[in-house]
Amino acid sequence: MAVTVPIAVETMRLADIAAVHEIERLSFTTPWPAYAFEQELTANRLARYVVARAGSSVVGFGGVWLMVDEAHVTTIGVHPDWRRQGVGRRLLVALIDLSEELRASRVTLEVRASNLGAQALYAELGFEVAGRRTHYYTDDGEDALVMTTPALRSPAMRHHVALARERASHIAGGAE
């Protein structure tokens, strides 16, 4: 389905938390409580969170933490009604841009071993599997794959991001 409403990626605000929490609830087996987002926005100066808006509705969100010189994607989610329309790609490009702003050298994340859709999105942005954490997820004991980008300033990474931006520019709202 083509996106017909412009999508904007913007800094998450406290007023967005209820909508973000609803997407969390629809997306994850152990969603973060709403107060965790409030903490992140108000008390964690090494965290950055964004939302994707379609008109005035929040349709996706994501965040990074700066850990030493690496950025770590803490979460990314898109409302089920808005998936496979390029919103996750837009969010991930925005998180990579924020990571560069935070002077991170690369970006890492953990993803469920079975979450092939998310892994495909990450691979498109240059993430590669760097390791495996066995029984990482406490709800069902599933393993996590650790995925990491090449150096953000490397030609390979610039190429991945430029291609993703180009793809994102074909959906309403355009690239960031």
Q: Which residues bind ligand COA (CB under 6 A)?
A: 27, 76-78, 83-89, 111, 115, 117-118, 120-121, 124
Helix 155-168 vs helix 87-101: angle between axes, to the nearest 10 degrees? 140
Query: Is 110 noted as a catalytic residue in this protein?
Result: yes
The answer to whether 94 touches 9, Cβ cutoff 8 Å, is: yes
Nearer to ligand COA, 89 or 160 (CB): 89
Nearer to ligand COA, 76 or 107 (CB): 76
Nearest residue to 48 via CA among 104, 4, 3: 104
| Least distance CB 164 / ligand COA (angstroms) | 8
Active-site pick, 35, 110, 124, 142: 110
Nearer to ligand COA, 77 or 150 (CB): 77
Spatial neighbors of 75 by CB under 8 A, at least 6 apart, are 24, 32, 61, 62, 63
| Least distance CB 141 / ligand COA (angstroms) | 17
d(CA 108, CA 98): 13
Query: Is 137 noted as a catalytic residue in this protein?
Result: no
d(CA 71, CA 99): 6
Residue 150 phi, psi (nearest 5):
-65, 175
Active-site pick, 70, 101, 122, 176: 122
Nearer to ligand COA, 103 or 170 (CB): 170
DSSP string, 52-75: EEETTEEEEEEEEEEETTEEEEEE
| Least distance CB 39 / ligand COA (angstroms) | 20
| Least distance CB 111 / ligand COA (angstroms) | 4
Report the catalytic residues: 110, 122
